Chains A and B, each alone.
Chain A
């Protein structure tokens, strides 16, 4: 088998060390540059930073699994039985992050309602029963 040849094997190891090291430095540089630590006032949009960093991390994961863990040399069946279940996580990520977003939304709604309740408590009851916009300026809370 090819991967038993020691010179080839050492090459894989060297390549892995350099590759993983460079990708890690790249990721950190993106994070530092994007957050304005390298050049004063220059920032990157999260829509550029995040896909780049996620992509690079996924490549690192692929390299570790396929080269270091020798998944490349295993039979198709073993490969699929280990890797396919991982795709279940894609839906878990989508569903839970969406749920998290909804919690935030609900918290905001509750906060706004509490605000309205507080303002009504601080407002003296109007002579006529007119509900709605009292137009009281924001007091101390």
Chain B
């Protein structure tokens, strides 16, 4: 169905027709279908996020996000949630520049459209860069993979029997204590590549060893943020194509207020919208 492209050069009220009938909801075919595509995409993301919640409910402990996501570039640790907040700002900013591009399109201002779409692309690329850094930190630095989650949590209060290198504490050194609900990261020995699981003793005298966290945490993290990141990536590609088309004067000739920019704008805002919920589910709750 390429009626929009075909009819645009014909008489003006033909533009408002779908195969001769009156257009529903006073929206063009492309725009309406973009909305319905976004509805279906929303259900896909909802499926992922609901699976995340369900699995979180199904196990006694879950890693705390303010412990897991607490690194910043430049070797800074113990900065909980700061990096993802920056990522969120980047995405919001790119959404705002997209609104400007659509507005300039409605005013038929070609240079404005191209400029603001360019800014939006930069925002998208910056977000992808942030995500690449976040994944690298988790995979290469903290050894989290789809099948291994080294972020476990304590169920009861207690003290460690081993120090951070896995050696028993000497009598002179006070042992580190922990509380129920606290999340810990199981490190790998740099030389032997073996996991260092520290032994601990709980308040009631039970001796245990650090267990790995629920696998679903790592698996769903990579699937959900990866699926979202893929949306951002393909969004950047589409933005690039449409920006080049706009620059070539293709949409100016159609005289329909740069509707194609409006459609990719809907998609781009949707990506931001999904991030609101990914941010809520993964980093806040």
Contacts and interface: CB of A to CB of B under 8 A. Distances in A.
Interface of A: 4, 6, 9-10, 12-13, 16-17, 20-21, 24-25, 27-28, 30-32, 35, 37, 50, 53-54, 57, 60-61, 64-65, 68-69, 74-75, 77-78, 81-82, 85-86, 89, 92-93, 96-97, 99-101, 103-104, 107-108, 138
Which of A60, A69, A85, A96 counts the most B-chain CB atoms under 10 A from its CB?
Answer: A69
Nearest to A89: B46
A12 to B, nearest CB: 7
Contact of A53 (B59, B206, B273, B280): B280
A74 B58 contact: no
B273 A65 contact: yes
B136 interface: no
Interface of B: 24-27, 32, 35-36, 38-39, 42-43, 46, 50-51, 53-60, 64-66, 80-81, 85, 88-89, 92-93, 95-96, 98-100, 103, 106-107, 206, 265-266, 269-270, 272-273, 276-277, 279-280, 283-285
B99 A12 contact: yes
B99 A16 contact: yes
Main secondary structure of the interface of A (DSSP, over half): helix
A9 B58 contact: no
B50 A82 contact: no
Nearest to B65: A31
A101 B277 CA distance: 21
Given A61-B277, A65-B273, A97-B57, A77 B285 contact: no
B280 A17 contact: no
A110 B266 CA distance: 49
Given A25-B85, A69-B269, A82-B39, A100 B53 contact: yes
A138 B280 CA distance: 42
